[in-house]
Structure 1
Amino acid sequence: MLYTRRNPTCAQAINSTVLGNLNVTKKTIFTVHGFRPTGSPPVWMEDLVEGLLSVDDMNVVVVDWNQGATTVIYNHASRKTRKVAIVLKEFIDQMLAEGASLDDIYMIGVSLGAHVAGFVGKMYNGQLGRITGLDPAGPLFNGRPPEDRLDPGDAQFVDVIHSDIDGMQYFKCDHQRSVYLYLSSLRENCTITAYPCDSYRDYRNGKCVNCGISQTESCPLLGYYADNWKDYLRERDPPMTKAFFDTAEEKPFCIYHYFVDIITWNKNIRRGSITIKLRDKAGNTTESKINQ
């Protein structure tokens, strides 16, 4: 189902023989949903399409494999992922024949859809422009070799947001939290900064505040603009990183980070407290007290 700025709300049905209004000279984003045990369409899909079209003039192709993904037996749905990938390759091959470039193809896969994207990327030897995996499905994929799951080598740039555990927690709503975090990156003034770090403990202890680069450069941003950091990743060996972040409890999830370093001038023990107060441009204030 094709959406463009010419038809942002009413999809045009397309396939490998009928590309419709798809403009092969523009970026094309494929969105691939995951396991749908109840058969209901993803509630976030309309927001994702709208958000993507708001940031760039592109083709947004919603991959509807709901008939294959709808089953209460997860194993049955997972076995369909490679078949979906083959259909998508036929479609992309036709795009390439019409003049499209692999550099301009970007796949966003959710849950099982992340592995669908990975299988497509493998068939093009990792030459797709980008793949984003949003909470890639764990059961039947964790611990598998790279050819059986989404892998960092499946595209020129691969980014993954992990916001949930799998298994018994699968049916909880937080399995889709990564989608809403991605959506927040499409809104103005709502960037979520991630901090490269070896462990979550080190991150929480403030040991990873400068991203390993000069203070004048931005840390990687979560979501749509994560690929702005790919030039820095190329300088790493291997060219990949793991980064951590904090969010607010509800939409739009973005928060600001401040690092406060307090240095005492002597070693004498003193009783008391330190209060830190922050005020924004609108005059709103918040404070935190450190008791000793």
Structure 2
Amino acid sequence: MKLTLALLFVSLAYTAYAVPIEESVTYPRHMQFPGGDGVMHDIDLDGEVDEELLIGIAERNVYILFTRLNPTAGQTLVINDADSIRNSNFNPAHNTVVISHGWLSNQNTGINGLIRDAYLNKGDTNVIVLDWRRLAISNYVTAVRGVPIVGVGLGQFIRYLVGVTGASYDTIHLVGFSLGAHLVGNAGRELEGRLARITALDPAGPLWVFNSNRVNSKDAKYVEGIHTNGGLIGLGYGSPVGHVDFFPNGGSSQPSCLTPICDHNRAWELFAASVSYNHLIGRKCSNDIQITLNSCRGGTFPMGNDDLHKQGSGKYRANTSGKYPF
């Protein structure tokens, strides 16, 4: 009898932990959120938005192209400047991936180089790094307010790029981390969901729980979420956002990580590794309790990778190690 009651208590506890984030998360007004510098910064979720900064903010976006012909020396592509694109190494016959960093970050932040190199070491790809630092260095609430604007700007750039080069939307994959995940979702929405794929890497949680501008499954033909620091008060948005959502190691904390920053950043580290090796395999889960208890028994599906033809649905748990390539 005691054992039965104990098991019931554990089950109820896990049920409470695993309920969808919309029903469980209330972020405190004052909290900390990580920047690309690897440091936690104080944020005020009721703080003042810098409305003046948002005027023309999408025009500050910088698009930097890397290919196997210029793997480390980027070429700047400029919207409404066809020569900047025609004179670059952009090849419409190759797939294109666009990488969007998160808050307090820029083109030199670690996510960009790691994912760029994973693609270029594997094959011919147009890798475009979006540097949206002018907004990203603002206070968190201003950055959140401006993300949809900057995302629309990215969408308009991609439309122009396609018009100049003849590239197909079916060859374009947007990858965004944290605030950048919601940013690429808005870019896909601007293009009416025509892009082949969007990958949302631990999309930011604070101020996004009830935000209609967050990334969702209508933003591309295939949208995949990888959640590494969700949970009750995680830095990431812990509920599904795409056609397929992965919750590595349960989706809230990661092996060998001792800080939320490590858990949060693990999303882009896992993705980069998956591009190189396509070795991280998830198992489909029937409910959130199975994700938490590691008791998923459904079919398998690869997490991440560079496949632009992925199709699927549902929630998956993938178990990884704590050391690259995981």
| Counterpart selection for 2:155 from 76, 89, 96 | 89
1:220 partner amino acid: F
1:248 partner amino acid: S
- TM (norm. structure 2) is 0.66
User: Is residue 76 of structure 2 the alignment partner of residue 13 of structure 1?
Assistant: yes
Counterpart Cα distance in 1 of 2:127 and 2:307: 19
Counterpart Cα distance in 2 of 1:204 and 1:166: 10
| Counterpart selection for 1:185 from 257, 267, 274 | 274
Partner of 2:178: 111
Counterpart Cα distance in 2 of 1:102 and 1:92: 9
The structure with the larger Rg is 1
Alpha-carbon shift at residue 252 of structure 1 (Å): 2.0
Alpha-carbon shift at residue 200 of structure 1 (Å): 4.7
Alpha-carbon shift at residue 23 of structure 1 (Å): 1.5
Q: Taking structure 1 as reference, are residues 203 and 113 closer, same or farther at Cα in structure 2, changes over 3 Å only?
A: closer
Structure 1: unaligned runs, 5 residues or longer: 212-218, 234-239, 254-292
Partner of 1:282: none
Give 1:202-213 correspondences, 5 Å limit: 202=290, 208-211=296-299
- For residues 164-206 of structure 1, what are the alpha-carbon distances to aligned partners after superposition, in whole Å with 9 as ceiling and x for unaligned? 0389654623211101111111233x61110111235435767
Counterpart Cα distance in 1 of 2:101 and 2:78: 17
Give 1:40-119 correspondences, 5 Å limit: 41-71=108-138, 73-98=139-164, 99-119=166-186
Counterpart Cα distance in 2 of 1:204 and 1:70: 35
Counterpart Cα distance in 2 of 1:94 and 1:176: 31
Give 1:118-137 correspondences, 5 Å limit: 118-137=185-204
Alpha-carbon shift at residue 84 of structure 1 (Å): 1.6
Counterpart Cα distance in 1 of 2:141 and 2:293: 40
Counterpart Cα distance in 2 of 1:201 and 1:82: 33
Partner of 2:95: 27
Alpha-carbon shift at residue 124 of structure 1 (Å): 1.5
Structure showing greater relative contact order (alpha-carbon pairs closer than 8 Å, 6 or more residues apart) = 2
More helix by share: 2
Counterpart Cα distance in 2 of 1:46 and 1:205: 35
Is residue 66–residue 127 contact of structure 2 (8 Å, CA) maintained in 1? yes
| Counterpart selection for 1:172 from 261, 282, 286 | 261
Q: How many residues end up aligned between the 2 structures?
A: 233
Q: Taking structure 1 as reference, are residues 121 and 206 closer, same or farther at Cα in structure 2, changes over 3 Å only?
A: closer
Counterpart Cα distance in 2 of 1:89 and 1:247: 34
Alpha-carbon shift at residue 33 of structure 1 (Å): 0.5
- TM (norm. structure 1) is 0.73
Counterpart Cα distance in 1 of 2:140 and 2:232: 11
Alpha-carbon shift at residue 15 of structure 1 (Å): 1.2
Structure 2: unaligned runs, 5 residues or longer: 1-63, 236-259
What's the Cα RMSD here? 2.4
Counterpart Cα distance in 1 of 2:115 and 2:309: 20
Is residue 31–residue 107 contact of structure 1 (8 Å, CA) maintained in 2? yes
Is residue 138–residue 166 contact of structure 1 (8 Å, CA) maintained in 2? no
Q: Taking structure 1 as reference, are residues 187 and 96 closer, same or farther at Cα in structure 2, changes over 3 Å only?
A: closer
Counterpart Cα distance in 2 of 1:102 and 1:142: 29
User: Is residue 259 of structure 2 the alignment partner of residue 194 of structure 1?
Assistant: no
Give 1:231-246 correspondences, 5 Å limit: 233=312, 240-246=313-319
Q: Taking structure 1 as reference, are residues 210 and 242 closer, same or farther at Cα in structure 2, changes over 3 Å only?
A: closer
More strand by share: 2
- Between the aligned residues of both structures, percent identity stands at 30
Counterpart Cα distance in 2 of 1:149 and 1:9: 32
Counterpart Cα distance in 1 of 2:158 and 2:136: 21
Partner of 1:160: 225
SS in 2 for 1:187: helix
Alpha-carbon shift at residue 154 of structure 1 (Å): 0.6
1:165 partner amino acid: G
1:64 partner amino acid: D
Is residue 283–residue 318 contact of structure 2 (8 Å, CA) maintained in 1? yes
Q: Taking structure 1 as reference, are residues 5 and 125 closer, same or farther at Cα in structure 2, changes over 3 Å only?
A: same
Counterpart Cα distance in 1 of 2:107 and 2:131: 12
Q: Taking structure 1 as reference, are residues 195 and 167 closer, same or farther at Cα in structure 2, changes over 3 Å only?
A: closer
